[in-house]
Structure 1
């Protein structure tokens, strides 16, 4: 099946990207002067992980093979994967429960009303693909043109990468955008074959040179709260704290709330 083949190809590319970022010195191997590729060689990684070099090569090539949980854990340890990267590796290897292709969750009137009740704090409800299902006027003011697309729901990821004003509003646009793209890859990896993520990733590649440059890095990251420095139209730089809450009974829907913070601003 195409979805399984895509997942195996993604697994191979993810392993290769992580192998190339580990230097021989980091794992106690002698450095040699001439290396055709950065990082560890396949044979070196296989040796350190306690598996056959041929078997590892097949895995990185995306061939239809299965490896044990112990081997995957050994690869994760050798590659020094962070916990969320380890989870991503397991999902790509088919060892985590399959999420399948969920039906888009309908937005109830009660949930749609929550951002309106939170005015004047910017707030919105997004689904798993960052489609903005409901938002208040404060969110529209903070993120101009968020809902201008007439042919599709507003989408926060598309806004960040395809809306010209995003680079003005997001003071630290590059690290914010890189983190967001890593979260999109994580979600897409958890939903192999889901056409919603395929469309989103294709749109981002079509419209953003940064996405075309960063996507091959295979960065993954979990969604979280924190602080952002924003420049609302007509105002100076302001630090906002933002928090995300999953909607009870609707695991794909998330309520995001922003509030001005006493953190540093310039």
Structure 2
């Protein structure tokens, strides 16, 4: 492997390297775990040393991270790579009726596409559902062959005609945030500015915050 090859890889250019070759490179360069993850992300490959198909639901959230989410005043929640809510605060629990206020499925995609409550809480539900799925597809690209991801997608394809149709369209968009509105059953139409952060210690997780923008006009 030449210096040019390394440079092209870092620049995100189209270079060919097998996961095994990348693993050998990581060992030869004595890369740290974070550097190794970055190498495989640049190449768009799955690290063969990673735990295959480890269900996201089994990944523990460090206590300090859960406490940090709970300490945030506006609605905030932590999503894993399958978009299961792994931690959330009281404000998010009050806002997301039918999702975070119940003890059953915490997956955001299942909530949006399978839970009828979401259609009453999320204005312009069909458009928002399409957008959310396009964002998820863009983020899940590096893990598209992950068995847990494949199982989630197949379940949703079987149970939601809209999900199946949108998934076939292969639309991808960046998760940019922006204004989000909700029709809360007790508080009425609410507007927020959504922002999201990648957690440094858990690069497969995202912290989502909703900053209040007052009551939205219908």
Is the strand fraction higher in 1 or 2? Answer: 2
> For residues 80-137 of structure 1, what are the alpha-carbon distances to aligned partners after superposition, in whole Å with 9 as ceiling and x for unaligned?
xxxxxxxxxxxxxxx9331346654531001011222124x21111111111001122
Contact preservation (8 Å) 1:172, 1:229: no
1:144 matched to 2:97: yes
Deviation at 1:206, TM superposition (A): 2.2
Q: Whole-Å Cα distance in 2 between the matches of residues 162 and 170 of structure 1?
A: 13
Q: Give TM-score scaled by structure 1 length.
A: 0.58
**Could you say which residue in structure 2 is the equivalent of 1:160?**
112
Q: Whole-Å Cα distance in 2 between the matches of residues 202 and 127 of structure 1?
A: 18
**Could you say which residue in structure 2 is the equivalent of 1:177?**
129
1:109 matched to 2:56: no
> For residues 237-258 of structure 1, what are the alpha-carbon distances to aligned partners after superposition, in whole Å with 9 as ceiling and x for unaligned?
1211111111122101111111
Contact preservation (8 Å) 1:241, 1:260: yes
**Could you say which residue in structure 1 is the equivalent of 2:212?**
260
Q: Whole-Å Cα distance in 1 between the matches of residues 46 and 185 of structure 2?
A: 40
- The structure that has the greater radius of gyration is 1
Q: Give TM-score scaled by structure 2 length.
A: 0.70
SS in 2 for 1:237: strand
Aligned residues: 172
Deviation at 1:212, TM superposition (A): 1.8
Question: Equivalent of 1:204, from 140, 147, 156?
Answer: 156
Q: Whole-Å Cα distance in 1 between the matches of residues 14 and 152 of structure 2?
A: 31
Deviation at 1:69, TM superposition (A): 4.3
Deviation at 1:259, TM superposition (A): 2.0
Runs of 4+ in 1 over 6 A off after TM superposition: none
Q: Which moved more, 1:136-145 or 1:101-110?
A: 101-110
SS in 2 for 1:130: coil
Question: Equivalent of 1:229, from 159, 181, 197?
Answer: 181
> For residues 216-251 of structure 1, what are the alpha-carbon distances to aligned partners after superposition, in whole Å with 9 as ceiling and x for unaligned?
111011222111111112122121111111112210
Query: 5 Å matches for 1:1-266?
Result: 69=14, 96-100=43-47, 103=54, 104=56, 105-119=59-73, 121-147=74-100, 148=102, 150=104, 154-262=106-214, 264-266=216-218
Q: Whole-Å Cα distance in 1 between the matches of residues 215 and 91 of structure 2?
A: 20
The runs of 5 or more residues in structure 1 that have no matched partner are 1-67, 71-94
SS in 2 for 1:231: strand
**Could you say which residue in structure 1 is the equivalent of 2:32?**
none
Contact preservation (8 Å) 2:123, 2:183: yes
Contact preservation (8 Å) 1:225, 1:242: yes
The runs of 5 or more residues in structure 2 that have no matched partner are 1-12, 16-41
